[in-house]
Structure 1
Protein backbone atom coordinates (compact mmCIF):
# COMPACT_ATOMS: atom_id res chain seq x y z
CA UNK A 1 0.00 0.00 0.00
CA UNK A 2 2.82 2.40 0.89
CA UNK A 3 4.59 1.76 -2.41
CA UNK A 4 1.31 2.26 -4.24
CA UNK A 5 0.78 5.63 -2.53
CA UNK A 6 4.31 6.66 -3.45
CA UNK A 7 3.85 5.71 -7.08
CA UNK A 8 0.40 7.34 -7.15
CA UNK A 9 1.92 10.58 -5.85
CA UNK A 10 4.66 10.53 -8.48
CA UNK A 11 2.11 9.70 -11.17
CA UNK A 12 -0.10 12.62 -10.23
CA UNK A 13 2.88 14.97 -10.41
CA UNK A 14 3.65 13.62 -13.87
CA UNK A 15 0.05 14.02 -15.04
CA UNK A 16 -0.10 17.60 -13.76
CA UNK A 17 3.13 18.42 -15.58
CA UNK A 18 1.76 16.96 -18.83
CA UNK A 19 -1.45 18.92 -18.40
CA UNK A 20 0.53 22.14 -18.13
CA UNK A 21 2.44 21.34 -21.30
CA UNK A 22 6.13 21.67 -21.95
CA UNK A 23 5.84 25.35 -22.88
CA UNK A 24 3.91 26.38 -19.76
CA UNK A 25 5.69 29.08 -17.74
CA UNK A 26 7.33 27.96 -14.50
CA UNK A 27 5.41 30.05 -11.99
CA UNK A 28 7.23 30.98 -8.80
CA UNK A 29 7.65 33.91 -6.39
CA UNK A 30 10.86 35.86 -5.69
CA UNK A 31 11.76 34.29 -2.33
CA UNK A 32 11.28 30.75 -3.68
CA UNK A 33 13.27 31.58 -6.81
CA UNK A 34 16.12 33.10 -4.82
CA UNK A 35 16.27 30.13 -2.45
CA UNK A 36 16.11 27.55 -5.24
CA UNK A 37 18.71 29.35 -7.36
CA UNK A 38 21.12 29.77 -4.43
CA UNK A 39 21.20 26.00 -3.98
CA UNK A 40 21.29 25.35 -7.72
CA UNK A 41 24.40 27.55 -7.97
CA UNK A 42 26.32 24.76 -6.21
CA UNK A 43 25.23 22.07 -8.67
CA UNK A 44 27.87 19.42 -9.25
CA UNK A 45 29.62 20.05 -5.93
CA UNK A 46 29.75 18.08 -2.68
CA UNK A 47 30.23 19.40 0.84
CA UNK A 48 30.97 17.88 4.22
CA UNK A 49 28.73 18.60 7.17
CA UNK A 50 28.67 18.49 10.94
CA UNK A 51 25.80 18.13 13.38
CA UNK A 52 25.22 21.46 15.12
CA UNK A 53 22.04 20.52 17.02
CA UNK A 54 20.82 17.14 18.22
CA UNK A 55 18.71 17.13 21.35
CA UNK A 56 18.44 13.33 21.58
CA UNK A 57 22.12 12.68 21.00
CA UNK A 58 24.38 11.19 18.33
CA UNK A 59 21.80 10.45 15.62
CA UNK A 60 24.44 9.78 12.97
CA UNK A 61 27.20 8.41 15.19
CA UNK A 62 30.68 9.19 13.90
CA UNK A 63 29.75 8.80 10.22
CA UNK A 64 31.05 11.28 7.66
CA UNK A 65 28.14 13.45 6.48
CA UNK A 66 28.17 14.65 2.87
CA UNK A 67 25.61 16.43 0.71
CA UNK A 68 26.07 16.36 -3.07
CA UNK A 69 24.10 18.82 -5.21
CA UNK A 70 24.09 16.22 -7.92
CA UNK A 71 21.44 16.99 -10.52
CA UNK A 72 19.66 20.25 -11.28
CA UNK A 73 17.02 21.40 -13.73
CA UNK A 74 14.92 24.57 -13.81
CA UNK A 75 12.31 22.85 -11.64
CA UNK A 76 14.10 20.16 -9.60
CA UNK A 77 17.27 19.71 -7.57
CA UNK A 78 18.43 16.27 -6.37
CA UNK A 79 20.71 16.29 -3.34
CA UNK A 80 21.97 12.91 -2.09
CA UNK A 81 22.80 12.93 1.63
CA UNK A 82 25.50 10.36 2.38
CA UNK A 83 25.91 9.12 5.95
CA UNK A 84 29.18 7.24 5.89
CA UNK A 85 28.71 4.35 3.45
CA UNK A 86 24.92 4.70 3.63
CA UNK A 87 23.78 6.20 0.31
CA UNK A 88 20.07 5.59 0.89
CA UNK A 89 18.91 9.20 1.15
CA UNK A 90 18.24 11.78 -1.57
CA UNK A 91 16.56 15.10 -0.90
CA UNK A 92 14.44 16.23 -3.86
CA UNK A 93 13.52 19.91 -4.02
CA UNK A 94 10.87 20.73 -6.64
CA UNK A 95 9.12 23.85 -7.89
CA UNK A 96 5.45 22.93 -8.10
CA UNK A 97 3.88 26.16 -9.34
CA UNK A 98 2.28 26.57 -5.91
CA UNK A 99 5.58 26.78 -4.02
CA UNK A 100 8.44 24.42 -3.22
CA UNK A 101 8.18 20.76 -2.28
CA UNK A 102 10.78 18.75 -0.37
CA UNK A 103 10.71 14.96 -0.60
CA UNK A 104 13.00 12.33 0.91
CA UNK A 105 13.72 9.50 -1.53
CA UNK A 106 14.84 6.54 0.60
CA UNK A 107 16.23 3.45 -1.13
CA UNK A 108 17.49 0.04 -0.10
CA UNK A 109 21.05 -0.87 -1.07
CA UNK A 110 19.72 -2.81 -4.08
CA UNK A 111 18.12 0.40 -5.39
CA UNK A 112 14.54 -0.56 -4.55
CA UNK A 113 12.31 1.87 -2.68
CA UNK A 114 12.47 1.67 1.11
CA UNK A 115 9.16 1.02 2.85
CA UNK A 116 9.31 4.63 4.10
CA UNK A 117 10.04 6.85 1.13
CA UNK A 118 8.93 10.09 -0.49
CA UNK A 119 7.88 11.67 2.77
CA UNK A 120 8.27 15.41 3.12
CA UNK A 121 6.25 18.56 2.78
CA UNK A 122 5.39 21.71 0.85
CA UNK A 123 5.93 25.36 1.63
CA UNK A 124 2.87 27.11 3.03
CA UNK A 125 4.12 30.70 2.74
CA UNK A 126 6.72 32.75 0.93
CA UNK A 127 9.46 32.01 3.47
CA UNK A 128 12.76 33.79 2.95
CA UNK A 129 15.43 33.82 0.28
CA UNK A 130 17.70 32.06 2.78
CA UNK A 131 15.24 29.80 4.65
CA UNK A 132 12.29 27.65 3.62
CA UNK A 133 10.12 25.39 5.81
CA UNK A 134 8.31 22.22 4.77
CA UNK A 135 5.66 20.95 7.23
CA UNK A 136 4.78 17.27 6.86
CA UNK A 137 2.16 16.75 4.15
CA UNK A 138 -0.88 14.44 4.24
CA UNK A 139 0.93 11.55 2.53
CA UNK A 140 3.78 11.75 5.03
CA UNK A 141 1.46 11.88 8.04
CA UNK A 142 -0.42 8.78 6.84
CA UNK A 143 2.90 7.00 6.22
CA UNK A 144 4.21 7.87 9.69
CA UNK A 145 1.03 6.67 11.39
CA UNK A 146 1.08 3.42 9.41
CA UNK A 147 4.75 2.96 10.33
CA UNK A 148 4.06 3.43 14.05
CA UNK A 149 5.88 6.76 14.40
CA UNK A 150 2.93 9.10 14.90
CA UNK A 151 5.15 11.70 16.62
CA UNK A 152 6.67 12.41 13.21
CA UNK A 153 3.36 13.80 11.93
CA UNK A 154 4.45 17.10 13.52
CA UNK A 155 7.70 17.16 11.53
CA UNK A 156 8.80 20.40 9.93
CA UNK A 157 11.88 20.23 7.73
CA UNK A 158 13.88 23.36 7.04
CA UNK A 159 16.62 24.14 4.57
CA UNK A 160 18.85 27.18 4.95
CA UNK A 161 21.25 28.54 2.35
CA UNK A 162 23.82 31.26 3.06
CA UNK A 163 27.02 32.18 1.18
CA UNK A 164 29.19 29.95 3.38
CA UNK A 165 26.70 27.43 4.79
CA UNK A 166 23.84 25.12 3.86
CA UNK A 167 21.80 23.65 6.72
CA UNK A 168 19.23 20.86 6.90
CA UNK A 169 17.04 20.91 10.00
CA UNK A 170 14.27 18.69 11.37
CA UNK A 171 12.15 20.04 14.20
CA UNK A 172 9.05 18.87 16.04
CA UNK A 173 7.99 18.94 19.71
CA UNK A 174 10.87 17.50 21.79
CA UNK A 175 13.00 16.81 18.70
CA UNK A 176 15.53 18.93 16.86
CA UNK A 177 18.46 18.02 14.68
CA UNK A 178 20.47 20.21 12.33
CA UNK A 179 23.39 19.46 10.03
CA UNK A 180 25.49 22.36 8.70
CA UNK A 181 27.53 21.97 5.51
CA UNK A 182 30.60 24.07 4.71
CA UNK A 183 30.01 25.61 1.28
CA UNK A 184 33.41 27.31 1.21
CA UNK A 185 35.33 24.03 0.98
CA UNK A 186 33.95 21.62 -1.64
CA UNK A 187 35.12 18.02 -1.39
CA UNK A 188 35.33 15.16 -3.87
CA UNK A 189 31.94 14.27 -5.30
CA UNK A 190 30.30 11.06 -4.17
CA UNK A 191 29.25 7.99 -6.09
CA UNK A 192 25.60 7.79 -7.17
CA UNK A 193 23.11 7.24 -4.36
CA UNK A 194 21.35 3.90 -4.19
CA UNK A 195 18.78 3.56 -6.95
CA UNK A 196 20.35 6.21 -9.18
CA UNK A 197 22.85 6.02 -12.03
Structure 2
Protein backbone atom coordinates (compact mmCIF):
# COMPACT_ATOMS: atom_id res chain seq x y z
CA UNK A 1 0.00 0.00 0.00
CA UNK A 2 2.79 2.42 0.90
CA UNK A 3 4.52 1.69 -2.41
CA UNK A 4 1.31 2.52 -4.31
CA UNK A 5 0.93 5.83 -2.42
CA UNK A 6 4.59 6.65 -3.02
CA UNK A 7 4.27 5.88 -6.75
CA UNK A 8 1.09 7.96 -6.94
CA UNK A 9 2.81 10.96 -5.33
CA UNK A 10 5.90 10.66 -7.54
CA UNK A 11 3.84 10.29 -10.71
CA UNK A 12 1.65 13.26 -9.70
CA UNK A 13 4.71 15.46 -9.10
CA UNK A 14 6.19 14.42 -12.44
CA UNK A 15 2.93 15.14 -14.26
CA UNK A 16 2.60 18.58 -12.69
CA UNK A 17 6.24 19.49 -13.33
CA UNK A 18 5.88 18.37 -16.94
CA UNK A 19 2.92 20.76 -17.35
CA UNK A 20 4.80 23.87 -16.30
CA UNK A 21 4.89 26.62 -18.88
CA UNK A 22 8.25 27.29 -20.51
CA UNK A 23 9.95 30.57 -19.61
CA UNK A 24 8.75 33.43 -21.81
CA UNK A 25 11.02 34.52 -24.64
CA UNK A 26 12.89 37.80 -24.30
CA UNK A 27 10.54 39.33 -26.88
CA UNK A 28 7.42 38.16 -25.03
CA UNK A 29 8.71 39.50 -21.71
CA UNK A 30 9.67 42.83 -23.28
CA UNK A 31 6.31 43.09 -25.06
CA UNK A 32 4.44 42.50 -21.81
CA UNK A 33 6.46 45.23 -20.08
CA UNK A 34 5.82 47.64 -22.96
CA UNK A 35 2.08 46.92 -23.14
CA UNK A 36 1.77 47.63 -19.41
CA UNK A 37 2.53 51.31 -20.23
CA UNK A 38 -0.26 51.63 -22.81
CA UNK A 39 -2.52 54.65 -22.59
CA UNK A 40 -0.27 56.55 -20.19
CA UNK A 41 2.03 59.56 -20.34
CA UNK A 42 5.31 59.86 -18.44
CA UNK A 43 7.70 62.70 -17.63
CA UNK A 44 11.25 62.40 -18.90
CA UNK A 45 14.68 63.98 -19.01
CA UNK A 46 17.80 63.86 -21.09
CA UNK A 47 20.49 61.76 -19.40
CA UNK A 48 23.29 61.90 -21.98
CA UNK A 49 25.56 64.93 -22.28
CA UNK A 50 26.46 65.27 -25.98
CA UNK A 51 26.72 68.95 -26.88
CA UNK A 52 24.61 68.41 -30.00
CA UNK A 53 21.64 67.71 -27.69
CA UNK A 54 21.99 70.89 -25.59
CA UNK A 55 18.46 71.99 -26.54
CA UNK A 56 17.08 68.97 -24.68
CA UNK A 57 18.94 69.68 -21.41
CA UNK A 58 16.17 71.94 -20.10
CA UNK A 59 13.36 70.81 -22.40
CA UNK A 60 9.93 69.70 -21.23
CA UNK A 61 10.34 66.07 -22.32
CA UNK A 62 7.61 63.50 -21.91
CA UNK A 63 6.23 60.48 -23.71
CA UNK A 64 2.74 59.34 -24.56
CA UNK A 65 2.18 55.62 -25.12
CA UNK A 66 -0.63 56.66 -27.41
CA UNK A 67 -1.59 53.68 -29.54
CA UNK A 68 -1.53 50.04 -28.58
CA UNK A 69 -2.83 47.09 -30.51
CA UNK A 70 -1.96 43.45 -30.03
CA UNK A 71 1.09 43.70 -32.27
CA UNK A 72 1.98 47.42 -32.37
CA UNK A 73 2.75 50.12 -29.82
CA UNK A 74 3.33 53.79 -30.68
CA UNK A 75 5.20 56.04 -28.27
CA UNK A 76 5.08 59.77 -28.97
CA UNK A 77 8.27 61.53 -27.85
CA UNK A 78 7.23 65.05 -26.90
CA UNK A 79 8.93 68.37 -26.12
CA UNK A 80 6.23 70.50 -24.54
CA UNK A 81 3.36 70.48 -27.04
CA UNK A 82 5.56 69.51 -30.01
CA UNK A 83 6.16 65.96 -31.14
CA UNK A 84 9.88 65.29 -31.53
CA UNK A 85 8.99 61.99 -33.17
CA UNK A 86 7.13 58.74 -32.79
CA UNK A 87 8.62 55.35 -31.94
CA UNK A 88 6.62 52.52 -33.47
CA UNK A 89 7.35 49.07 -32.10
CA UNK A 90 5.86 46.07 -33.87
CA UNK A 91 5.90 42.53 -32.57
CA UNK A 92 6.80 40.05 -35.31
CA UNK A 93 7.00 36.26 -35.25
CA UNK A 94 10.80 36.41 -35.04
CA UNK A 95 11.42 39.54 -32.95
CA UNK A 96 10.48 43.18 -32.60
CA UNK A 97 10.81 45.99 -35.14
CA UNK A 98 11.45 49.65 -34.25
CA UNK A 99 10.56 52.46 -36.68
CA UNK A 100 10.97 56.20 -36.18
CA UNK A 101 8.29 58.46 -37.65
CA UNK A 102 8.73 62.21 -38.01
CA UNK A 103 5.80 64.30 -39.21
CA UNK A 104 6.67 66.31 -42.34
CA UNK A 105 10.31 65.16 -42.45
CA UNK A 106 11.97 63.36 -45.38
CA UNK A 107 14.02 61.32 -42.93
CA UNK A 108 11.29 59.11 -41.49
CA UNK A 109 10.45 55.42 -41.29
CA UNK A 110 13.98 54.40 -40.35
CA UNK A 111 14.88 51.76 -37.79
CA UNK A 112 15.71 48.10 -37.48
CA UNK A 113 14.95 44.73 -35.94
CA UNK A 114 15.77 43.39 -32.47
CA UNK A 115 18.96 41.40 -32.18
CA UNK A 116 19.96 38.26 -30.32
CA UNK A 117 21.83 40.32 -27.71
CA UNK A 118 18.51 41.77 -26.51
CA UNK A 119 16.79 40.78 -23.26
CA UNK A 120 13.36 40.80 -21.67
CA UNK A 121 13.92 44.37 -20.49
CA UNK A 122 16.04 45.79 -23.33
CA UNK A 123 15.81 45.45 -27.10
CA UNK A 124 18.64 46.57 -29.39
CA UNK A 125 17.90 47.65 -32.96
CA UNK A 126 20.80 48.23 -35.38
CA UNK A 127 20.01 50.16 -38.56
CA UNK A 128 18.62 47.78 -41.20
CA UNK A 129 19.47 47.87 -44.92
CA UNK A 130 16.48 50.04 -45.89
CA UNK A 131 17.49 52.53 -43.20
CA UNK A 132 21.08 52.60 -44.44
CA UNK A 133 19.86 53.29 -47.99
CA UNK A 134 17.64 56.12 -46.69
CA UNK A 135 20.54 57.65 -44.76
CA UNK A 136 22.76 57.48 -47.86
CA UNK A 137 20.04 59.09 -49.98
CA UNK A 138 19.59 61.89 -47.43
CA UNK A 139 23.34 62.55 -47.15
CA UNK A 140 23.82 61.30 -43.58
CA UNK A 141 25.91 58.14 -44.05
CA UNK A 142 27.40 58.44 -40.55
CA UNK A 143 23.97 57.43 -39.21
CA UNK A 144 24.20 54.03 -40.92
CA UNK A 145 26.04 52.80 -37.80
CA UNK A 146 23.13 53.75 -35.52
CA UNK A 147 21.99 51.27 -32.92
CA UNK A 148 18.84 52.20 -31.05
CA UNK A 149 17.75 50.58 -27.81
CA UNK A 150 14.49 50.64 -25.90
CA UNK A 151 14.57 49.52 -22.30
CA UNK A 152 11.50 48.93 -20.15
CA UNK A 153 12.09 48.28 -16.46
CA UNK A 154 9.61 48.44 -13.56
CA UNK A 155 10.27 52.15 -12.88
CA UNK A 156 11.80 53.52 -16.08
CA UNK A 157 11.52 53.58 -19.88
CA UNK A 158 14.77 54.41 -21.68
CA UNK A 159 15.35 55.30 -25.31
CA UNK A 160 18.93 55.30 -26.56
CA UNK A 161 20.78 56.08 -29.78
CA UNK A 162 24.44 55.16 -30.08
CA UNK A 163 27.08 55.03 -32.78
CA UNK A 164 30.77 55.94 -32.82
CA UNK A 165 31.16 59.48 -31.43
CA UNK A 166 27.42 59.84 -30.73
CA UNK A 167 25.28 58.94 -27.73
CA UNK A 168 21.74 60.04 -26.86
CA UNK A 169 19.79 58.75 -23.86
CA UNK A 170 16.47 59.92 -22.49
CA UNK A 171 14.67 58.38 -19.51
CA UNK A 172 11.04 58.48 -18.47
CA UNK A 173 9.93 57.58 -14.96
CA UNK A 174 7.10 55.06 -15.21
CA UNK A 175 6.16 54.71 -11.54
CA UNK A 176 3.33 57.24 -11.82
CA UNK A 177 1.69 58.38 -15.08
CA UNK A 178 1.82 62.15 -15.53
CA UNK A 179 -1.76 62.60 -16.72
CA UNK A 180 -0.77 64.76 -19.71
CA UNK A 181 -2.61 64.50 -22.99
TM-score by length of structure 1 reads 0.75
Between Structure 1 and Structure 2, whose CA radius of gyration is higher? 2
Which 4+ runs in 1 deviate beyond 3 A?
none
Moved more, 58-67 or 90-99: 58-67
1-structure distance, mates of 2:144, 2:77: 22
Deviation at 1:40, TM superposition (A): 0.6
Deviation at 1:147, TM superposition (A): 1.1
1-structure distance, mates of 2:132, 2:81: 29
Matched, 1:134 2:129: no
Structure 2 counterpart SS, 1:70: strand
Paired residue for 2:19?
Answer: none
Paired residue for 2:27?
Answer: 32
Deviation at 1:37, TM superposition (A): 1.1
Find 2:76's aligned residue among 73, 80, 102.
80
| Gap regions ≥5 residues in structure 2 | 1-23
CA RMSD after TM alignment: 1.5
Q: Which of the pair has the greater relative contact order for Cα pairs under 8 Å at 6+ separation?
A: 1
Find 2:41's aligned residue among 43, 46, 49.
46
Structure 2 counterpart SS, 1:142: helix
The count of aligned residue pairs is 157
Matched, 1:66 2:57: no
2-structure distance, mates of 1:72, 1:171: 27
| Gap regions ≥5 residues in structure 1 | 1-28, 109-113, 191-197
TM-score by length of structure 2 reads 0.81
Deviation at 1:88, TM superposition (A): 4.8
Alignment CA distance shift 1:43-1:107 (3 Å):
same
Find 2:98's aligned residue among 102, 109, 120.
102
